[in-house]
Amino acid sequence: MLTAEAKFNTKTMIIVKLQLVGSAEGGFHTTVTSIPREFDTFDGCLPPLPENLNKSFTKWRSDYREVEQVRSPINPDQTGFRIKPKGVRVSSPTNTTQDVKLYLNEWLNAGDSDWQQIRDNLISIGSQFKLAEEETRVLLDSQDIKLGYFPWQEWQLFEDHFSPVEIALRVRGRPKDKIIPAQACSKVRILLVVGRSDNINTNADLKVIQELEEKGAEVIYLMQPSIRELCDALWETEGYHIFIFTGHS
């Protein structure tokens, strides 16, 4: 349990950091701290990643990508297309989403004593922060990027004992990982998308962009673009340093 009580003298954002070190096969040693320091550090061990969670997430991602392929814009060079039935679907992203949530909660609610103390402490501090109406964020700090794929905000513990929580991910590179330097670029590229501007004054935004352009930035303007025009611009190989949208969404 906590060895020091949280202090709520000021209204500041509290960041609860979960640092997870280990592997999906062997489990993760977990250390919990806060920024600013509102409680003493505590630690435990998250059990190995269960296979049913891994499989359900892979299935969800496959189902979702199939839906996205159906929604993708048609190639304008094609004069027509045919729908080729692949058979009857027995699942959907909605179904597999529920599976992922179910298996995630089974994993994070595991009864291992080393993990139980993490849960007990999170419930305690989350309830205190919620009672004091403190704004709270949860930061996952890990070398395993796969942990960031899962919807941690769906953990029932967060829903029950924290104020509406947002999850941030920090992935640490391994020592053997090589840092690939960014390609040299002669100027900053900005993609500016202007939507409908009725009853909205977008002139101030455009003026700032024009000032950047005068200072040497390369600005690509899209005025109320179609989906195809936007997709083509986003897929340009040169890429962009800054994306700006102004107007009605």
Identify whether residues 35 and 110 lie together within a single domain: yes
Identify whether residues 40 and 138 lie together within a single domain: yes
Mean pLDDT over 148-177 rounds to 81
Q: Given a cut of 70, is residue 84 above it in pLDDT?
A: no
Identify whether residues 151 and 41 lie together within a single domain: yes
Q: Is residue 80 part of a domain?
A: no
pLDDT of 164 reads 77
Identify whether residues 105 and 28 lie together within a single domain: yes
Mean pLDDT over 188-207 rounds to 87
At 62, is the pLDDT very low, low, confident or very high (cuts 50, 70, 90)? confident
Cα–Cα distance for residue pair 84/97, rounded to 1 Å: 26
Q: Is residue 76 part of a domain?
A: no
At 3, is the pLDDT very low, low, confident or very high (cuts 50, 70, 90)? very low
Q: Is residue 66 part of a domain?
A: no
pLDDT of 93 reads 61
Cα–Cα distance for residue pair 58/217, rounded to 1 Å: 41
Identify whether residues 39 and 153 lie together within a single domain: yes
pLDDT digit string, tens, across residues 170-179: 877 655 555 5
- ∠ CA(7), CA(148), CA(25), 5° rounding? 105
Domain boundary pick from 138, 171, 204: 171
pLDDT of 107 reads 96
DSSP letters for the chain: --SS----SS---EEEEEEEEEETTTEEEEEEEEES--S--EEEEEPPPPHHHHHHHHHHHHHHHHHHHHHSPPPTT-S----------S--HHHHHHHHHHHHHHHHT---HHHHHHHHHHHHHHHHHHHTT--EEEEEEES-GGGGGS-GGG-HHHHHHSSS-EEEEEEPPPTTPPPPPPPP-SS-EEEEEE---TT---HHHHHHHHHHHHTT-EEEEEES--HHHHHHHHT-TT--SEEEEES--
DSSP letters for 8-52: -SS---EEEEEEEEEETTTEEEEEEEEES--S--EEEEEPPPPHH
**Residues whose CB is less than 8 angstroms from the CB of residue 5 and which lie 6 or more positions away in sequence, other chains included:** 39, 128
Q: Given a cut of 90, is residue 145 above it in pLDDT?
A: no
Identify whether residues 131 and 214 lie together within a single domain: no
- Name the residue range of residue 99's domain: 14-51+93-171
Higher pLDDT, 76 or 244: 244
